[in-house]
Amino acid sequence: MVQIRRAYEVLFLGLFLFFLLVTDLRYLKGWPVSIFLEATPLVAVSTALTTHTIYRNLWWGVFILGVTMMFGRVWCNWMCPFGILHHFFGYIGNRKNTKQLIEVNRYRWWYSIKYYILIAMLVMAGAWIIPTLIATPGEVVTAWNTDDGSVATRPVRALANGFAAAAERYKEGGSNLQIGLLDPIALTVRSMTTSVLPVAHVATESIYTEPREYWYAWVVGLIFAGFLVANWWIPRFFCRAVCPLGALLGLLSRFSLWRIDRDPVRCTDCDLCLKNCEGASDPHKDLRKSECFVCLNCIEDCPHDALTYRFLPRKASEITWPAVGRRQVLLAGIFGSLFFPMAKLSGGVKKNFSRYVIRPPGSVAEDEFLRRCIKCDQCIRVCPTNVLQPALFEAGVLGLWTPIMISKMGWCELNCTLCSQVCPTGAIREISIAEKLGTGPFESKGPIKTGTAFYNRGRCLPWSMDVDCVVCEEVCPTSPKAIFTRNIEITDRWGKTLHLKRPYIDPEKCIGCGICEHECPVKDDPAVYVTAIGETRDKSRSLLLSLVDDPAGSQDLVSIG
């Protein structure tokens, strides 16, 4: 059995790393590279709370829920790449004797912290419920008044429609998605993308064509390494105490039909089953069902065959629910419901939104974006130019590690929509090249703009230094170009006549791709730079009245294909 599990571990970690490596323009083809991110039920559950929908392939999460409800937390030790990495790091860091091993694998009360983390994050995701409930009575009255259907079911309809109307209104601005900070797959993809792979590339020159740099990657990398090395002292520290996905699966494994069971007659209380217990689920006593990773090591280690994995063992020999305190649950809930609005109302997101938050093309409006983005940074992984970067606090504390474009690092390639293809949650909606460029059926809608370029004439060579340049005009990819020039004739300081081209921006044509900023020879503080204003994803950030809206735009939404 343990051999089979090991084979699965190798298979799933291998698959994960394979998908990670092929998340690249050259190899992507049709590989389902987002499958692990889509399979974590935490993403499905929490985005269902924030968006009231299940986006495309997040259905895989429901499948894993089903597996957990049958067999327990098999995900954690058989499939989860981060769990498998923890398993591996615990193994290589293991310098303990049997006695010490038994002791480090006993259950600790603070392993329940993961449940409080989960609760705080889900409360943030479902915070819209508070204003919704306050507004529901009024909406129910409105629904009652406007309803002229059959009398018998009118109260039911009024209640349901009233609640739905209130929920629809307060969903926007009423919740936030933070599970990505600690969801094991999002965390692993993010850490691999921004810190592990760039380091591996420096050593091997085999991953990219050009070395990558990521904004404050060391923070992400240090957290990742910290969790992995923690296994040397506390095996599976992350999985046992921190992982919110483990907590969700722990809650659901309460329903699992199969579990480890101890034969109290055969058991001689030697505690050898604890020696390699991954989950610290106390197999030597009544099993803590919510903590067991179903690694099956205990069965292997039991000298008396007292442990079996069986269907519907007696209820009396298990601890069905996780050991969480009611007061602590309340505290976690209060933290979640207060922290979200406080963070959101700390400025920098709405009124004082940052000019640096330039989202990739296809991104939905900022509020919805923050309700969808799980900070997995897979878009950053696939971006061929390095322009996509994990934000620090540019998008507010809630937008930590969400993707932004830093044009000094790269530019948005004109004929590329890769980031929108790999986004597992629709924070970057899948768009076609035609939609991005505003051609074909999207002609009337115009191109997707991510921002607008501006000139800092004091630093621009032809504008203030009598030097020819206009690289920006050359690289401007739109047709017709958004950057145009005016010829001028000036007298230079020595009295000679000079002919210069001076660049200007046509804000209607500029799509904010940032290649002008990237190629500007004034490298440290480019003379042409892009800021977020004028982005088409959000009407409240539009700049030009002529582009603000189009009747055709709202009708023609289906972009794929």
Partner 1 sequence: MSEKLTAKQISNLQKFGGVNPADETFSRRDFAKRVGATGAVLTGAVATGVAITDPWGMQGVKPPPPVKLGNYSVRDELPASAPSVVVVHSNPESQPPSESGENQAQRMIEAALKAMGGIDKFIKRGDIVVVKPNVAFDKNPDLAATSQPDSVAAVVKMCLAAGAREVRVCDNPINNPESCFFKTKVGDAALRAGAKLILPQESYFEDLYIGGETITNTWRMFYKPFKDATKVIGVSPVKDHNLCKATVTMKNWYGLLGNPRNQFHQNIHGIITDFGLMMKPTLVIADGRKLLMRNGPTGGSLNDVKRGDTMVVGTDQVAVDSWCVSKLLEKQRHEIVYLDKSIAKGYGADWRPQWTNEITV
Binding site for partner 1 (CB under 8 A): 44, 48, 51-56, 59, 62, 65-66, 69-70, 169, 252, 255-257, 261-269, 304, 312-317, 364, 368, 372, 426, 429-430, 539-546, 548-551, 553-554, 557-558, 560
In the bound complex, what is the minimum distance in angstroms from residue 155's beta carbon to partner 1? 21
DSSP H/E element including 369: helix 366-372
Peptide bond preceding 81 in cis form (omega within 30 of 0): no
Provide the 10 A C-beta neighbour count for residue 77.
25
Q: Which is nearer to partner 1, 81 or 313 (CB)?
A: 313
Q: Which is nearer to partner 1, 59 or 91 (CB)?
A: 59
In the bound complex, what is the minimum distance in angstroms from residue 555's beta carbon to partner 1? 9
Q: Which is nearer to partner 1, 108 or 350 (CB)?
A: 350
Q: Which is nearer to partner 1, 465 or 547 (CB)?
A: 547
In the bound complex, what is the minimum distance in angstroms from residue 263's beta carbon to partner 1? 4
Rounded Cα distance, 42 and 277, in Å: 24
Bridge partners for 504 per DSSP:
484
Rounded Cα distance, 402 and 87, in Å: 28
User: 528-531 and 258-262 as β-strands: parallel, antiparallel, unpaired?
Assistant: unpaired
Angle at 209 between CA 424 and CA 437, to 5 degrees: 50
Tokens at 241, concatenated:
């105490």
Asked if residue 289 lies in contact with residue 318, where contact means CB atoms within 8 angstroms, the answer is yes
In the bound complex, what is the minimum distance in angstroms from residue 328's beta carbon to partner 1? 24
Asked if residue 531 lies in contact with residue 353, where contact means CB atoms within 8 angstroms, the answer is no
In the bound complex, what is the minimum distance in angstroms from residue 153's beta carbon to partner 1? 19
Q: Which is nearer to partner 1, 210 or 305 (CB)?
A: 305
Rounded Cα distance, 317 and 286, in Å: 5
Asked if residue 81 lies in contact with residue 245, where contact means CB atoms within 8 angstroms, the answer is no
Q: Which is nearer to partner 1, 342 or 557 (CB)?
A: 557
Tokens at 220, concatenated:
């992400």
In the bound complex, what is the minimum distance in angstroms from residue 398's beta carbon to partner 1? 18
User: 403-405 and 388-390 as β-strands: parallel, antiparallel, unpaired?
Assistant: antiparallel
Asked if residue 404 lies in contact with residue 379, where contact means CB atoms within 8 angstroms, the answer is no
In the bound complex, what is the minimum distance in angstroms from residue 150's beta carbon to partner 1? 23
Q: Which is nearer to partner 1, 48 or 522 (CB)?
A: 48
In the bound complex, what is the minimum distance in angstroms from residue 498's beta carbon to partner 1? 35
Three-state SS at 410: coil
Q: Which is nearer to partner 1, 129 or 196 (CB)?
A: 129
Those residues whose C-beta lies under 8 Å from the C-beta of residue 439, and which sit 6 or more positions away, are 433
Amino acid identity for residue 310 in this structure? R
